Structure 1
Amino acid sequence: MSTWIGFLRAINLAGRRTFSPREIVACLEEAGFTDVATHINTGNVRLTTRMRSRERVAAAMEKAFAADRGFEVPVALLTPAEVRALADELDEVAAGHDGTHYVCLLAAEPDAQVRRALEALEAPGERVVVRGRAAHLLLGPDFHRSRLTNAAIEKVAGVGTSRNRTVVAAIADKWC
Structure 2
Amino acid sequence: MTSRIALLRGINVGGNNKFPVARQRALMAELGFEGVTVHLQTGNIVFADPGTPPDRTARTLEDAFAADLGFSVPVMVRTRDELAAAVDANPYPAAAAEPKTLHVIFLSDVPTDTSALEALNALNTAAYAPDEFRLIGREIYLHCPDGIGRSKLAAKLSNLRLGVTATARNWNTVTKLLALADT
* TM-score, normalisation: structure 2: 0.81
Equivalent in 128, 132, 146 of residue 133 of structure 2: 128
CA distances 1:47-104 after superposition (whole Å, capped 9, x unpaired): 22335222211000001110111111111211101111222333xx115668821110
| Structure 2 equivalent of residue 145 of structure 1 | 150
| Structure 2 equivalent of residue 94 of structure 1 | 92
Deviation at 1:31, TM superposition (A): 1.9
Structure 2 counterparts to residues 26-65 of structure 1, below 5 A: 26-50=26-50, 52-65=52-65
Native 8 Å contact 1:127 1:139 kept in 2? yes
For 1:120 and 1:25, how far apart are their aligned partners in 2? Answer: 41
Structure 2 counterparts to residues 73-92 of structure 1, below 5 A: 73-90=73-90
CA distances 1:13-50 after superposition (whole Å, capped 9, x unpaired): 11111112211111121122222211112210112233
SS of 1:48 mapped into structure 2 = strand
Read off the aligned partner of 1:164 and give its amino acid letter. N
For 1:50 and 1:130, how far apart are their aligned partners in 2? Answer: 30
For 1:77 and 1:101, how far apart are their aligned partners in 2? Answer: 21
For 1:171 and 1:162, how far apart are their aligned partners in 2? Answer: 13
For 2:2 and 2:175, how far apart are their aligned partners in 1? Answer: 21
- Aligned identity (percent) is 31
CA distances 1:107-161 after superposition (whole Å, capped 9, x unpaired): 11334x43x64354234112321122211112251312223335334x1242110
- For structure 1, the residue ranges without an aligned partner over 5 or more in a row are none
Deviation at 1:171, TM superposition (A): 1.4
SS of 2:141 mapped into structure 1 = strand
Native 8 Å contact 1:76 1:108 kept in 2? no
SS of 1:163 mapped into structure 2 = strand
Native 8 Å contact 1:127 1:138 kept in 2? yes
Read off the aligned partner of 1:162 and give its amino acid letter. A
In the alignment of these two chains, the number of paired residues is: 171
- For structure 2, the residue ranges without an aligned partner over 5 or more in a row are none
